[in-house]
Structure 1
Amino acid sequence: MIRFEHVTKSYPDGTTAVDDLTFEVAEGELITLVGPSGCGKTTTMKMVNRLIEPTSGRISLGGEDISAIDPVQLRRRIGYVIQQVGLFPHKTVLDNTATVPHLLGRPRKEARDRAAELLDLVGLDPSTYGDRYPDQLSGGQRQRVGVARALAADPPVLLMDEPFGAVDPVVREHLQNEFLRLQSTLRKTVLFVTHDIEEAVRLGDRIAVYGAGRIEQFDTPATVLGAPATPYTAQFVGADRGLKRLSVTPVEPGDLEQPPIVRLDDPAARAAGRLSADGAPWAVVLDADGSLYGWVPSAALTGAAGGSAAGPGTKKLAPQGTVRDHARRMDAWLPLGAPLKQALSTMLQHDAGWVAVQDGGRFLGVLTPARLHTALRRSTTADAANLPRGEIALDTVPASGHTVPGPGA
């Protein structure tokens, strides 16, 4: 969709902002351009919509040389979102969003209807926010309007220049989540400029790590973090890049342990016998449809005549009722393919020794801290060796699915 061929931008004072840049962005791909201030990433982006003209080289959009396209017409085909948003203060939110469709000649009602759809898409109810003015919005809300306005003409390409840099960290994370949700639906071709490696890793299908006017490495987030191509890249992504990989390493079926499973309506005595035979301190509890209900400790399924005060030799009683009578709900779960960072966060949030993993509504197994660590090591080793993750075997002490700690352990 976007192709740079030996593009250079130099200035009369001898400064070279971008030096012999060659790379390609596929249709529907989100590329993050990351690097320190003054490294050329914003210059790269602005050359795509001809806000800056290259000194030499060729940039093509959909196979067409952009130098042959009228700059105004070109910019109307490309969405543009900047940190300062740039909303018109005298126009309502709805009219701000409808600006580009109106400039393209769409009837006013059609443009406003499209604007209302997009405001709803970015989480701003048009009936609530449509008639407000920019100064009546929070910073995060203004950024949402900026994204909606950039999407209003349904452009194939979206340029984003540190769009979430001016809001606080909590709002920034929320905006990132919303944008990823939008991108999963719209699949725009996106160049996203940021100086934050965490943001680049989280959002990008691929990352272009900039040095001084050139790209030091252009690869997937996992590869950039796991196998930096140059000392500069390794220094830029940081010594804690192993932790950053948690955000881009998914939970896979091979990462999971398989604890004992009992059903919600199983007789408690049968479940107790199963756990006793396996030497297991607890089991996962599924309902009749195979969906996760929770867990049950073996201690809850056993009892003695006379209760805790019974003396030596007291006759053991068979557990009464069904597993349902003894099971405990478990909210620590996540979907297959979720990042390891989410798994670790879920464990900490619920103070759990494991999290359940599901595919849709189907229980697959549990992820423990030990397995999480192994998954991260395997992913890092695979990328460094340029091998599929499944082909990497690690020397590690295998953990038994029967001895992982229960929730709250």
Structure 2
Amino acid sequence: MIRFEHVTKRYADGTTAVDDLSFEVAEGELVTLVGPSGCGKTTTMKMVNRLIEPTSGRILLDGQDISAADPVRLRRRIGYVIQQVGLFPHKTVLDNTATVPHLLGAPRAEARARAAELLELVGLDPRKYGPRYPEQLSGGQRQRVGVARALAADPPVLLMDEPFGAVDPVVREHLQNEFLRLQSQVRKTVLLVTHDLEEAVRLGDRIAVYGHGTIEQFDTPATVLGAPATPYVADFVGADRGLKRLSVTTLRRDDLEEAPTLRPGPTAGTPDAPWGVVLDTDGRPTGRFHADDPGRTHPAPPPVPLGASLKDALAALLQDDTGWLPVTDPADGGRYAGVLTPAAVHRALRRARPGTTDDRPAPTDGPAATDTTGDTLSSR
């Protein structure tokens, strides 16, 4: 969708902002550009909508050289979200959002109807917030309106320049979650500039790590964190990059350990095991048992779902003294899938590290995973 071919931007005073950039962003992909101030990431983004013209090289949008396009028409086809939002203070939220469709010739009623749909999509009730003016909104609400306005003309490409940088950390995380939800629905091709590595890792399908006008590494978050391409990248992502990888590594079924289970029904008592999981008749975890307290069951820690990040799973694991968590499979109606332990988290991180293999041993800290009704758990 977006392709840079040997693009350089050099200013009259001899300053080179970007030097011989060549990379491609696939359709529907979210790429984050991250690096220190003055490294050229914002210049890169602004060349896509011709707010800055390159000195040499070509930028292609959907196969077309943008230098041949009318800049105004080009910008109306590209959504643009900036840190300070840039809403018109004299227009209501609804009219702000309807600006681009109206400029493209849509009747006022149609443009406002489209704006109302998008406000709903970004989590703002158009009946409540549509008549308000920007000064009547919080910073996070204004940022949502900015995203809605950028999407109003249904552009194929969305450019975002530090979109969540002007709000506090709690609101920023909430906006990031909302944007990921939104992106899963609309699947725009996105270039997002940020100086925040954690934001880049959390949002990006791929990350471009900038040095000084050049891209030092362009890869998935897991690869950038697990296998930095250069000493510069290793220094930039930090010595705690192993911890950062927790947020980009998802929990899979083959990361889990098996455990004895107990189901309702005629049994000869609890399994001959030090501990295990109690399941209901549908196979969902409801509690736990322990050999030190035979014949009784106790509440289990809240389960985590397959597909959760290891960061969220480890946080849940640390909240409980049990030492393990039941894991459920959302695709199987929330049924039990296995248990997560600290050792399993470590193995999952090793599995996700580029260039390594999962050489974990078979679990040896418990008996075979057979429940007391005689049903052996499926192998993983």
TM-score, normalised on structure 1? 0.86
Contact 2:90–2:133 under 8 Å retained in 1:
yes
- Unmatched 5+ residue regions in structure 2? 369-380
How far, CA to CA, are the matches of 2:358 and 2:317 in structure 1?
26
Deviation at 1:345, TM superposition (A): 1.3
Deviation at 1:90, TM superposition (A): 0.9
3-state SS of paired residue (1:141): helix
Q: Deviations over 1:45-98 (max 9, x none)?
A: 000000000000000000000011100000000000000000111111111111
State the Cα deviation string for residues 179-211 of structure 1 (Å, max 9, x = none): 111111111100000001111111100000000
Residue 133 of structure 1 deviates from its aligned partner by 0.9
> Match of 2:251, SS?
coil
Q: Deviations over 1:274-302 (max 9, x none)?
A: x22xxx23221222122222223344443
SS in 1 for 2:17: strand
Helix, strand or coil: the match of 2:88?
coil
Which consecutive unaligned segments of at least 5 residues does structure 1 have?
303-325, 404-409
Q: CA deviation at 1:398?
A: 4.8
Letter in 2 for 1:245: R
- How far apart in 2 are the matches of 1:16 and 1:379? 37
Q: Deviations over 1:93-149 (max 9, x none)?
A: 111111111111111111111111111111111111111111111111111111111
1 CA distance for matches of 2:193 and 2:78? 15
CA displacement at 1:401 relative to structure 2: 4.2
Confirm or deny that 1:287 pairs with 2:280: yes
Distance 1:150 1:301, change over 3 A: same
Alpha-carbon distance in 1 for matches of 2:288, 2:297? 6
The CA distance in 2 between the partners of 1:379 and 1:328, in whole Å, is 34
Q: For 1:245-324, what aligned pairs fall within 5 Å after superposition?
A: 245-263=245-263, 265-267=264-266, 270-272=268-270, 275-276=271-272, 280-302=273-295
Alpha-carbon distance change, 89 to 167 in structure 1, aligned in 2, over 3 angstroms: same
Closer/same/farther in 2, CA of residues 7 and 174 from structure 1, 3 Å limit: same
Whose radius of gyration is greater, 1 or 2?
1
Amino acid at match of 2:265: D
Cα deviation digits, residues 370-393 of structure 1 (max 9, x gap): 11112212322xx0x2x6xxx431
> Matches of 2:188 and 2:366 in 1, distance apart?
43
TM-score using structure 2 length:
0.92
Aligned to 2:365: 400
**Residue matched to 1:317:** none
| Partner residue, 1:126 | 126
Cα drift, residue 402 of structure 1: 5.8
> 1:332 touches 1:347 (CA, 8 Å); kept in 2?
no
**Superposed counterparts of 1:87-166, under 5 Å:** 87-166=87-166
- Once the two structures are superposed, the pairs formed by residues 3-402 of structure 1 within 5 Å of their partners are 3-263=3-263, 265-267=264-266, 270-272=268-270, 275-276=271-272, 280-302=273-295, 326-360=296-330, 361-380=334-353, 383=354, 385=355, 391-394=357-360, 398=363, 400-401=365-366
Shift of 1:171: 0.5
TM-superposed deviation, 1:350:
4.2
For 2:3, the aligned partner's letter is R
Change in 2 beyond 3 A, CA 1:83/1:351: farther
For residues 113 and 321 of structure 2, the distance between their equivalents in structure 1, rounded to whole angstroms, comes to 47
Q: Are the aligned partners of 1:119 and 1:126 in contact in 2 as well (CA < 8 Å)?
A: yes
| Aligned residues of 2:257 and 2:363 also touching (Cα < 8 A) | no
State the superposition RMSD in angstroms. 1.7
Q: Is the 8 A contact 1:79 1:157 kept in 2?
A: yes
Closer/same/farther in 2, CA of residues 240 and 362 from structure 1, 3 Å limit: same
Supply the AA of the counterpart residue of 2:182.
L
Distance 1:194 1:399, change over 3 A: farther
Distance 1:145 1:14 in 2: 39
Identify the structure with the greater helix proportion: 1
Asked whether the 8 Å contact 1:200–1:207 carries over to 2, the reply is yes
CA distance in 2, matches of 1:350, 1:81: 41
Percent identity of equivalent pairs:
74
What amino acid does structure 2 have at the position aligned with 1:400? D
For residues 300 and 114 of structure 1, what CA distance do their matches in structure 2 show? Answer: 61
